[in-house]
Copies of this chain bind each other. A is one copy, B any other.
Amino acid sequence: MERTYHTQMEAARKGIVTPEMEKVAQKENYPVEKIMRWTASGQVVIPANRLHTCIDPNGIGRTLKTKINVNLGVSRDCKDYDIEMQKVMQAVNMGAEAIMDLSSHGNTEPFRKKLTSECPAMIGTVPVYDAVIHYQRDLNTLTARDFIDVVRLHAENGVDFVTLHCGINRDTIKEIKAGKRKMNLVSRGGSLVFAWMSMTGEENPFYQYFDEILDICREYDVTISLGDACRPGCLADATDSVQIGELLRLGELVARARERDVQVMVEGPGHVPMDQIAANMKVEQTICHDAPFYVLGPLVTDIAPGYDHITAAIGGAIAAMNGASFLCYVTPAEHLALPNVDDVHEGIIASKIAAHAADIAKGLPGARDQDDHMADARRKLDWEEQWKYALDPEHARKIRDSRLPEDDHSDTCSMCGKFCAVRSMNKALSGETIDIL
């Protein structure tokens, strides 16, 4: 059956319920009419390129469950496509709803196509990274046309969302050169656009040719993720005029995208002190017309390299509770090295914890069910039942089994042994004598 619409947003606005909306409604326990209404307004996006036929679609928006993204991709220091594909499937199995392919080495197209033909998660890319690699020419030799052609290529490859750093312009160059910031720009894509503009003297191609980009995204239903080139890279730069100035430009672009029925979300900080996170979420909602907010972190301190999955979990949980709807995972290797398989695992778990805790705090229907089952299992000291509801059962079981209580108390663990409060309470409530010695 031929589609009578270009994008999910266009369909929603025409009152058409798409199969993707049906799936999202089912997953989120909402009537499909609500999903349609939110998709029409842009408060919810359903990134699903019409060519990515194996996708298991998900909606992103603050009224829905918080989603997480995992960054992967081959690079000069990790070239093996098979290992990377294994990481992708591991991430999907652990519950990641999106994979961003940040490949920056070799022939990137086959891996990208493999992802959109085999992977059920949403696939995102950052075309500006790929431009250098795709053309095998250094940055200063590329033209604005080259960049736009890469966006088209990714759309044709079935990518569901693309990060485009449309919000920096020549004013940004002036501000940064005036020394307004401690960390300048820390967005990889943003720094490439900045460098290209500096070297060529031209305007940002992703801003200048935004209408042409909208044509491409409309044709394939690629969701635009408006990159935050100016996200703060340290607490000192958080919520400054450079960041908010870019946000104002992104707000305008959200409106322009929606005029063409192109789905759009907005990327956000970065490094932000805890007391500024709620304000950041609120400002994004007002300035960007309630477009879904996709945040990296935010990291709540700069001094914890090696543990930035934790600093990001704190910030991400607070952000999601206050309106962010999509969390980019951060691994313990952030700021230090390419994450290995263990780092990817730790990063995903930390993000899932943040997302889940926020969903409970938002009072989403059924969000706390798993926690309640866990509590019941704990009260019964039923360990097999506890593993059923644990986020990472294998890891939890391993810790307990490595240090069982010395005495034969299969009901307790070695943390408290016979002092176990649950054991004491169960005995007290059933009238048994408590033996502790």
Chain A interface residues (CB < 8 Å from chain B): 75-78, 104, 129, 132, 136-140, 176-177, 182-188, 190-192, 194-195, 198-199, 233-237, 273-275, 300-307, 309-311, 313-314, 317-318, 321, 332-340, 349-350, 353-354, 356-358, 360-363, 368, 370-372, 374-376, 378-379, 386, 389-392, 395-396, 398-400, 402-407, 413-422, 424-425, 427-429, 431, 433-437
**A191 is contacted by which of B139, B233, B306, B428 (Cβ under 8 Å)?**
B428
Task: Closest B residue to A176 by CB, please name it.
Answer: B429
Q: A313 to B312: give the CA distance in the assembly, Å.
A: 11
Can you name 27 A-B pairs with beta carbons within 8 Å? A75-B414, A76-B405, A76-B417, A132-B437, A139-B436, A184-B425, A188-B416, A191-B428, A199-B433, A234-B372, A273-B357, A274-B361, A302-B370, A303-B370, A303-B371, A305-B390, A305-B399, A306-B395, A306-B396, A307-B353, A307-B391, A311-B353, A314-B314, A318-B318, A333-B403, A335-B415, A336-B396
**A374 is contacted by which of B78, B303, B357, B424 (Cβ under 8 Å)?**
B303
**Distance to closest chain B CB from A328 (angstroms):** 14
**Distance to closest chain B CB from A334 (angstroms):** 7
Chain B residues within 8 Å of A305, by CB = 386, 390, 396, 399
Contact in complex: A182, B376 (CB < 8 Å): yes
**Distance to closest chain B CB from A320 (angstroms):** 9
Chain B residues within 8 Å of A273, by CB = 357, 360-361, 368
Chain B residues within 8 Å of A434, by CB = 138-140, 192, 195, 199
Contact in complex: B427, A353 (CB < 8 Å): no
Chain B residues within 8 Å of A428, by CB = 191, 194-195, 198-199
Contact in complex: B336, A302 (CB < 8 Å): no
Q: A313 to B334: give the CA distance in the assembly, Å.
A: 18
Chain B residues within 8 Å of A363, by CB = 275
Chain B residues within 8 Å of A422, by CB = 183-184, 186, 191, 233
Chain B residues within 8 Å of A336, by CB = 396, 399-400, 413, 415
Contact in complex: A424, B192 (CB < 8 Å): yes
**Distance to closest chain B CB from A61 (angstroms):** 19
Contact in complex: B358, A274 (CB < 8 Å): yes
Q: A371 to B368: give the CA distance in the assembly, Å.
A: 36
Q: A416 to B334: give the CA distance in the assembly, Å.
A: 10
Interface centre among A309, A311, A392, A402 (most CB of B within 10 A): A311
Assuming the contacts A313-B313, A314-B353, asked whether A403 and B337 have C-beta atoms less than 8 A apart, the reply is: yes
Chain B residues within 8 Å of A354, by CB = 314
Chain B residues within 8 Å of A425, by CB = 176, 184-186, 191, 194-195
Q: A358 to B274: give the CA distance in the assembly, Å.
A: 7
**A186 is contacted by which of B185, B392, B404, B421 (Cβ under 8 Å)?**
B421
Task: Closest B residue to A362 by CB, please name it.
Answer: B275
Assuming the contacts A306-B396, A353-B314, asked whether A375 and B333 have C-beta atoms less than 8 A apart, the reply is: no
**Distance to closest chain B CB from A409 (angstroms):** 10
Contact in complex: A379, B198 (CB < 8 Å): no
Q: A378 to B237: give the CA distance in the assembly, Å.
A: 13
**Distance to closest chain B CB from A64 (angstroms):** 17
Q: A419 to B128: give the CA distance in the assembly, Å.
A: 11
